[in-house]
Chain A
Amino acid sequence: MRYSYYPGCSAESTARDQYMSVNEVAIALNIELIEIKGWTCCGSTPAHHTDKILSIALPVANLLMAQKTGLEMVVFCAACYNRMKVANHEIQTNPEIRKEIAATLGEDYDGSVKVHHFIEVLIKEIGVKKLKEAFTHSLYGLKVASYYGCLLVRPKDVTQFDDPENPTIMDKLIKLMGGEMIDWPHKVECCGGGFALSRTDIVVELSNSILGMAEASGAQCMAVACPMCQINLDMRQSDIHKIKGRDYNLPVVYITQLLGLCLGISPKKLGMDKCVVSPKPIIELVKVAE
C-alpha cells in the first residue's frame, strides 16, 4: 500500500506530534507514505479569505506534484485535506476556474488525484479485522470523546468524509481499540480554527463550550484528527482557566497517538510529550513501555 503523503506546514511546527504519530502508525501497519518532494503550503484560511484563485492554485500545485508520482494522496491535517478536496471539486465543476488555474500555474490539472484522510485509509483500506489483529495493547474502557470539528465533514458533497452531523469513523476506531466512545453532541462544533492567533477570544469561547460538553459527557480524554483543533483545545485550556475559571485538565490527543499506543509504540515516538495537558493517565492505563 503506497501513497503520496502531504504533511502540511503544521507538521513542521505546532503539530510535530501529529507528523510523528502518523508516520509511526503507518510503518506499523505497512502503509508506505512517500512524502511529496518540495510540497508547498495549501494556503489554509488566509488564502480563501484573500483570493479565490490563490486558494485553489496553492493546493493544485501540490496535487500536480502528487499526480506525477502516480500515487493517490494521503493527508492528515483537516484543513489541508479540506483545501485539497475543495480544489479538486472546483477544478472538476468549474471550467472557468480550471482555465484560470492552468494559466496561473502554466500547467493544466484535471482534478483527478484521489485525496484520502489518513484515518479513511485505516478504515477503508486496512479494514477493521486487520487493525484489530495488529493491536497489542488496549484502551481498557478509556472514555474517549471523538471530536471531528468542521473541515473533515463539511461541505459534505465536497469532502465526502462521513455523516456531516454525526460522523462515526473515529468512534469505530476507539471501540476497536477497546475504548469507550462517548455519545456527545459537540462532535462537529467549531473550535475557532484559524483564529488561534488573531481572535483568541473566539477560540476561548468556542473551545470552552466543546471542552465543557466533553467533560459533562464523562470523557476522560478527547481524540482529534486536526492540528488546529488539537492546539486550540489543548493549549488554550490554560487561557480558559484564566478567563472562564474552568479547569478541565482534559488530555487532547491525536487519534493516531491512541492507535500508536495500542500498536505498542512508545509514547515518546508518538510525540506524546508535546501535549500541553499531560496524557500520562492514558499512557499509564495502556501501559506501553517508554
Chain B
Amino acid sequence: MSIVISKEKQAGDLINDVQKLSGIDIRSCLQCKKCSNGCPVTGLTNVHPSDIIRAMQLNVGDKIFNSDLIWMCASCETCYARCPMKINMAEVMDALRVLSVQKNGPKQKGNVPLFNKSFLRTVKMFGRTYDIGMIAAYKLGSASLLQDTDKFPMMLLKGKIALIPSFQADKKYTRRIFGRKLGNTQS
C-alpha cells in the first residue's frame, strides 16, 4: 500500500483515540508483518493489517477510514495470535470501527454498520436475535433484497429460520444495557 501523508494538519490525534479505546500500544509495532501474512482477507484487499498500524504511526488521520480492511476484518484474531509484540489487532479494528461510525466514515461494501444496527435492534427488542426482523431491516436498508432469496424457502422448510421471535428472554439486564448511549466507550 502507498501511504499518503499530507502536510495539512490532521484533524485530531487518531492514534491516541484508538489507543484509548482499545488499551493497546500501537507505537510498539515492529512492522514485522506477521499479522498481514496470516490475515485471511489479505488477498482480497490492498491494505493489510500492518499497513493500518503504520498509517496510524505516521499519523495519516481520518483518511484511514477509507481503508476497506476495517470493514472486511473478520475478527478472526490470527494476527493477535502471531504478533510478537502482542498487539491485539482485532481490538484495534474494533476501535477503528467504533470511531468510523462516530465520525461518519465512508460507507463501504456490505454496509456492515447497518447490519450491526439491525442485529442489535432485535436484541434490544426481544433480548435475543430475531433473524427475520434483522434481515428485513438490513436488506431494506442496504437494497440487497434479492440476495439469498433462493435460500429462504429451504431454510423455512428445514426450520433453520424462525418465523416468530422468541419471547423467552428475561430483559431485566438487557433493558439496562441498552439504556446506555452506545459507541463512546472507554476502557
Question: Quick one: which of A201-246 are within 8 Å of B by CB?
Answer: 201-202, 205-206, 231, 235
CA A86 to CA B127, docked complex, whole Å: 20
| In the complex, A192 has a CB within 8 A of chain B | yes
For the complex formed, measure the closest distance between the CB of B113 and the CB atoms of chain A, giving whole angstroms.
Answer: 8
A16 touching B185, Cβ below 8 Å = no
Using Cβ atoms and an 8 Å threshold, which residues of chain B touch A14?
A: 131, 155, 160-161
| In the complex, B66 has a CB within 8 A of chain A | no
| In the complex, B111 has a CB within 8 A of chain A | yes
Using Cβ atoms and an 8 Å threshold, which residues of chain B touch A9?
A: 128-129, 166
A61 touches which of B88, B138, B166, B174 (Cβ 8 Å): B174
Residue of A nearest to B116 (CB): A46
A46 touching B81, Cβ below 8 Å = no
B21 touching A199, Cβ below 8 Å = no
For the complex formed, measure the closest distance between the CB of B137 and the CB atoms of chain A, giving whole angstroms.
Answer: 11
> Given known contacts A41-B123, A51-B185, is B78 in contact with A190 (CB within 8 Å)?
yes
CA A25 to CA B101, docked complex, whole Å: 44
Interface size classification for chain B: 35 or more
B119 touching A46, Cβ below 8 Å = yes
Instruction: Please give 19 more A-B residue pairs, beta carbons under 8 A apart, in addition to A94-B187, A150-B75, A206-B41.
Output: A12-B162, A14-B155, A14-B161, A41-B123, A45-B116, A51-B98, A54-B177, A54-B182, A57-B177, A150-B77, A197-B115, A197-B148, A199-B110, A200-B148, A201-B110, A202-B41, A206-B40, A273-B158, A274-B158
Interface size classification for chain A: 35 or more
For the complex formed, measure the closest distance between the CB of A229 and the CB atoms of chain B, giving whole angstroms.
Answer: 11
Q: Flag A162-195 by CB within 8 Å of B: 1 or 0 each.
A: 0011000000000000000000000011101111
| In the complex, A65 has a CB within 8 A of chain B | yes
| In the complex, A156 has a CB within 8 A of chain B | yes
B183 touches which of A51, A57, A188, A192 (Cβ 8 Å): A51
